[in-house]
């Protein structure tokens, strides 16, 4: 499906894991890639792999916890590609601990990167989408933002916050041809979850009706759908991609 032929897509946190898989999926549908990450070495490696396969892709070193870095990065992307049509807010981190032990710094960094970072990147690309009267914004939330998770008040709050941001912005910009949606992944096999112990992994798997970890491609396909013409009448939606782990409203 070359549904995204020539569309310019900015993906944050694209150097590895889910972000990289999203880049692959969007490129396969014909998109041109502006790939952003704070890990410069890995980002350049990833972009080199894409360009070797004939994909039009460029690296933009960007730290989404730093407004200046975001503004400079988006400016460079617009100078390079002319516009941004698809934004995927994917960069995210965890700093887990129980509430009573959680350090203020760990609260601040998770909210700063996962939520405020997405707010700032979205604000920086919105003028380009408004000008073109077409846009797709997809933010990567989490099952934890839907259902909660002991030991993750910071992460859960950031991911639930993204859902509020998504629904409010969808109402603001719908009349301009811009859709705003979120994907809420469950337990996906990436470097982020590789740090879990065998016991933690086992306990997690026991809660998944489809009885397997998700793969980054499972999330990437959902993002591609929301970015496509096929999803042009869907906005303010949160798409659960979690193997049945959470089936709430
Ligand atoms: P990952 O740790 O494998 O990759 C995250 C990428 O984001 C890395 O390349 C990292 O360098 C980049 N990044 C981190 N902080 C950044 C910053 N300040 N500025 C720019 N880039 C930054 O993680 P992943 O598992 O691929 O997760 C991707 C997204 O999916 C995250 O938002 C995560 O919260 C979400 N998610 C993951 C899972 C899962 O099970 N893996 C589940 C639900 C949601």
Query: Tens digits of per-residue pLDDT, 96-153?
Result: 999 999 999 999 999 999 999 999 999 999 999 999 999 999 999 999 999 999 999 9
Residue 178 three-state SS: strand
Q: Would you state the structure tokens that stand for residue 29, as one six-digit string?
A: 């549908």
Q: Which two tokens stand for residue 19?
A: 């972000």
DSSP symbol at 38: S
Q: What is the largest CA-CA distance in the chain?
A: 51
Q: How far is the CA of 117 from the centre of ligand 1 (A)?
A: 12
Given this model, what pLDDT does residue 2 score?
A: 58
Question: Residue 212: how many CA atoms within 13 Å on its side-chain side?
Answer: 4
Does residue 221 contact residue 29 with C-beta atoms inside 8 Å? no
Question: Which atom of ligand 1 is least distant from the CA of 214?
Answer: 40
Distance CA 195, CA 198 (A): 9
Kindly give the number of the ligand 1 atom that is closest to the alpha carbon of 213. 40
Q: Which of 239, 94, 240 lies closest to 158 in space, CA to CA?
A: 94
The closest of 189, 191, 174 to 220, measured between CA atoms, is: 189
Q: Which atom of ligand 1 is nearest to the CA of 16?
A: 9
- Nearest Cα residue to atom 44 of ligand 1: 142
Check if the beta carbon of residue 20 is closer than 8 Å to that of residue 28: no
For ligand 1, the distance from its centroid to the CA atom of residue 197, given in whole angstroms, is 19
Q: How far away, in angstroms, is 222 Cα from ligand 1 center?
A: 17
For residue 182, list its beta bridge partners: 139, 238
Residues identified as active-site: 155
Give 93 Cα–ligand 1 centroid separation in angstroms.
Answer: 5
Three-state DSSP state, 26: helix
Question: Which domains are assigned to the chain?
Answer: 8-238 (3.40.50.720)
Amino acid 248: pLDDT: 83
Residue nearest to atom 32 of ligand 1 (CA): 92
| Segments of the chain scoring below 50 in pLDDT | 1
User: In this predicted structure, what is the pLDDT of residue 249?
Assistant: 72
Residue 167 CA, distance from chain mean position: 16
SS3 119: helix
Ligand 1 is surrounded, with C-beta below 6 A, by: 12-13, 15-19, 37-39, 62-65, 90-93, 113, 140, 142, 185, 187-188, 190-193
Give the pLDDT of residue 56. Answer: 98
Q: Which pair of structure tokens corresponds to residue 123?
A: 């604000």
């Amino acid at each position: 499906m070359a549904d995204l032929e020539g569309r310019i897509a900015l993906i944050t946190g694209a150097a590895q894991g889910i972000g990289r898989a999203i880049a692959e999926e969007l490129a396969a549908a014909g998109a041109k890639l502006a790939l952003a990450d704070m890990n410069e070495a890995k980002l350049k490696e990833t972009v080199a792999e894409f360009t070797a396969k004939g994909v039009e892709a460029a690296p933009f070193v960007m730290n989404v916890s730093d407004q200046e870095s975001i503004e400079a990065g988006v400016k460079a992307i617009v100078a390079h590609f002319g516009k941004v049509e698809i934004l995927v807010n994917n960069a995210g981190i965890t700093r887990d601990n129980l509430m009573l032990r959680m350090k203020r710094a760990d609260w601040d960094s998770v909210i700063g990167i996962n939520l405020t970072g997405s707010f700032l990147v979205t604000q920086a690309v919105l003028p380009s989408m408004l000008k073109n009267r077409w846009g797709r914004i997809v933010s990567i939330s989490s099952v934890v933002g839907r259902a909660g998770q002991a030991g993750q008040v910071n992460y859960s709050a950031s991911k639930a916050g993204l859902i509020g941001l998504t629904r409010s912005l969808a109402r603001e910009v719908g009349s301009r041809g811009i859709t705003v949606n979120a994907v809420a992944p469950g337990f996906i096999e990436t470097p982020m979850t590789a740090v879990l112990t065998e016991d933690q992994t086992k306990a997690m798997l026991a809660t998944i009706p489809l009885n397997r970890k998700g793969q980054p491609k499972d999330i990437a396909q959902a993002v591609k759908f929301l970015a496509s013409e096929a999803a042009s009448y869907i906005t303010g939606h949160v798409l659960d991609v979690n193997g049945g782990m959470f089936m709430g409203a």
